[in-house]
């Protein structure tokens, strides 16, 4: 009898669930060793997070360009982080890898990461890609696989906010802040998008960074350390081919954030994480305003076209022109640029004889003249402006 009881107790105990030890939270190579995460380490880390990862392109050297999604596919708000477009600026990539694992996976915000926006450049520790092209000067013409991949993401997801992570080398003695930030300055960006983007930089990223004891300021502006007054500008204009401007032209609030390479790697990564905190706070506080500004930007159908100037530089009067009804492309011209127009989400219509017309009455209005007008700074192709469509 006693033997039977022992057998029964043994059988019952085998059915009782033993609490399993939780799997350790994944860590990047940088967190574990203090060295930049390796290429293989990045892939192992992404697998360990369990987050949805999709391949959005392939570099010239065969490396995947990837998109990581945190949150629902159908969230109310979409935030896109573009990490380390310049391969020799690794701190942004590390911050993105760290941040993605801590974000809520079920919320009304979708967070998207391109965690390594220049895989070939990161592997070679070079600013440009494997062809030496600066990807952050290619968001208009889309000659690189990397820029094409990002354009497709922006077209398909229509992000409300685009946060672009970089690093800078200081220009002594005038360029010595820990963190620099800047909004889209192109004058074709809708006022609501421009103003909220500046608010994002000044009123959310700046205080988030400075509350932790970092110094910060406007990117591209040289400051006299004795007077605190600006003494010149070496970067940060309204060029439409730069992501912070292209994103604004595509209706997204946006900003560039740069950390100072003279600081330690840990300090630089932490500074980027603080800036990411600011963007997340901005989204939480301004959801309705962001939605309204984006909707107003997409609805713009009138107004002049600016081929020069910026929000801190008055355009030459010759660079401010009335908007045409549209641009006519010959059949041959259209064949040569149809893929790029499609990646930008630009619509066109067939004309008798094989030509195409690209009307300005579409959501891509702000971008169309910069792509197709000979007066633009490096257009995709020179179309023929027409007064009537």
- Does 17 have pLDDT greater than 80? no
Do 235 and 329 have their domain in common? no
Instruction: Quote the number of domains for the chain.
Output: 2
Structure confidence by residue, pLDDT tens digits, 277-295: 999 999 999 999 999 999 9
Domain assignment of residue 305, yes or no: no
Do 348 and 252 have their domain in common? no
Do 289 and 150 have their domain in common? yes
- Residue 22's pLDDT is what? 59
Structure confidence by residue, pLDDT tens digits, 243-260: 999 999 999 999 999 999
DSSP state of 45: H
d(CA 305, CA 318): 11
Q: Which residue shows structure tokens 């506080």?
A: 285
Do 115 and 176 have their domain in common? yes
Identify the domain boundary among 267, 299, 331: 299
Beta bridge partners of 164: 82, 256
Structure confidence by residue, pLDDT tens digits, 134-169: 999 999 999 999 999 999 999 999 999 999 999 999
Domain assignment of residue 355, yes or no: yes
pLDDT band at residue 176 under the 50/70/90 scheme:
confident
Question: What radius of gyration, in Å, describes the C-alpha atoms of the chain?
Answer: 24
- Residue 227's pLDDT is what? 87
d(CA 120, CA 126): 8
- Does 30 have pLDDT greater than 60? yes
pLDDT band at residue 175 under the 50/70/90 scheme:
confident
Do 199 and 55 have their domain in common? yes
Do 79 and 222 have their domain in common? yes
d(CA 100, CA 110): 11
**Which residues, other chains included, contact 50 with Cβ-Cβ below 8 Å and sequence gap of 6+?**
none
pTM of this prediction?
A: 0.93
Domain assignment of residue 191, yes or no: yes
CATH of the domain at 71: 3.40.630.10
Structure confidence by residue, pLDDT tens digits, 1-13: 444 443 433 443 3
Domain assignment of residue 3, yes or no: no
**Mean local confidence (pLDDT), 185-205:** 98
Structure confidence by residue, pLDDT tens digits, 370-386: 999 999 999 999 999 99
Domain assignment of residue 311, yes or no: no
d(CA 138, CA 63): 19
Domain that holds residue 162: 34-299
Domain assignment of residue 335, yes or no: yes
Do 268 and 322 have their domain in common? no
Do 106 and 216 have their domain in common? yes
346 within 8 A of 358, measured Cβ to Cβ: yes
Domain assignment of residue 133, yes or no: yes
Closest to 81 (Cα-Cα) out of 61, 109, 57, 59: 109
Instruction: Return the structure tokens found at 377.
Output: 């700074």
Identify the domain boundary among 264, 299, 334: 299
Do 214 and 339 have their domain in common? no
Do 265 and 351 have their domain in common? no
Do 273 and 329 have their domain in common? no
Do 137 and 253 have their domain in common? yes
Look over the chain and give the mean of its residue pLDDT values, rounded to a whole number.
93
pLDDT band at residue 118 under the 50/70/90 scheme:
very high
- Does 99 have pLDDT greater than 60? yes
């Amino acid at each position: 009898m006693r033997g039977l009881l022992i057998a029964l107790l043994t059988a019952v105990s085998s059915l009782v669930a033993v609490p399993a030890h939780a799997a350790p939270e994944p860590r990047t190579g940088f967190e574990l060793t203090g060295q930049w995460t390796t290429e293989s380490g990045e892939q192992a880390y992404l697998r360990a997070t369990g987050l949805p990862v999709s391949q959005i392109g392939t570099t010239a050297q065969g490396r995947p360009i990837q998109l990581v999604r945190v949150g629902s596919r159908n969230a109310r708000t979409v935030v896109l982080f573009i990490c380390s477009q310049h391969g020799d600026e690794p701190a942004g990539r590390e911050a993105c890898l760290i941040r993605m694992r801590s974000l809520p996976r079920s919320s009304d915000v979708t967070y998207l990461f391109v965690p390594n926006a220049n895989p070939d450049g990161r592997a070679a520790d070079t600013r440009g890609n494997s062809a030496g092209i600066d990807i952050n000067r290619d968001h208009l013409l889309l000659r690189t696989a990397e820029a094409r991949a990002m354009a497709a993401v922006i077209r398909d997801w229509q992000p409300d906010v685009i946060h672009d992570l970089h690093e800078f080398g200081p220009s002594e003695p005038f360029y010595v802040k820990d963190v620099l930030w800047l909004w889209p300055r192109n004058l074709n960006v809708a006022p609501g998008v421009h103003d909220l983007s500046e608010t994002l930089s000044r009123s959310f990223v700046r205080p988030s960074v400075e509350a932790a004891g970092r110094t910060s300021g406007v990117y591209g502006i040289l400051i006299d350390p004795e007077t605190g007054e600006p003494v010149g500008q070496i970067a940060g204009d309204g060029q439409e081919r730069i992501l912070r401007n292209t994103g604004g032209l595509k209706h997204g609030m946006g900003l560039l954030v740069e950390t100072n390479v003279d600081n330690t790697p840990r300090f630089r990564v932490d500074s980027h994480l603080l800036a990411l905190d600011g963007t997340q706070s901005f989204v939480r506080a301004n959801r309705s305003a962001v939605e309204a500004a984006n909707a107003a930007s997409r609805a713009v159908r009138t107004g002049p076209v600016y081929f020069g100037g910026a929000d801190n530089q008055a355009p030459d009067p010759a660079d401010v022109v009335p908007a045409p009804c549209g641009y006519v492309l010959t059949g041959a011209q259209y064949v040569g640029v149809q893929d790029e127009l499609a990646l930008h989400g630009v619509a066109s219509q067939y004309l008798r004889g094989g030509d195409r017309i690209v009307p300005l009455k579409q959501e891509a209005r702000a971008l169309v003249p910069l792509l197709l007008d000979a007066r633009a700074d490096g257009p995709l192709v020179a179309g023929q402006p027409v007064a009537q469509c």
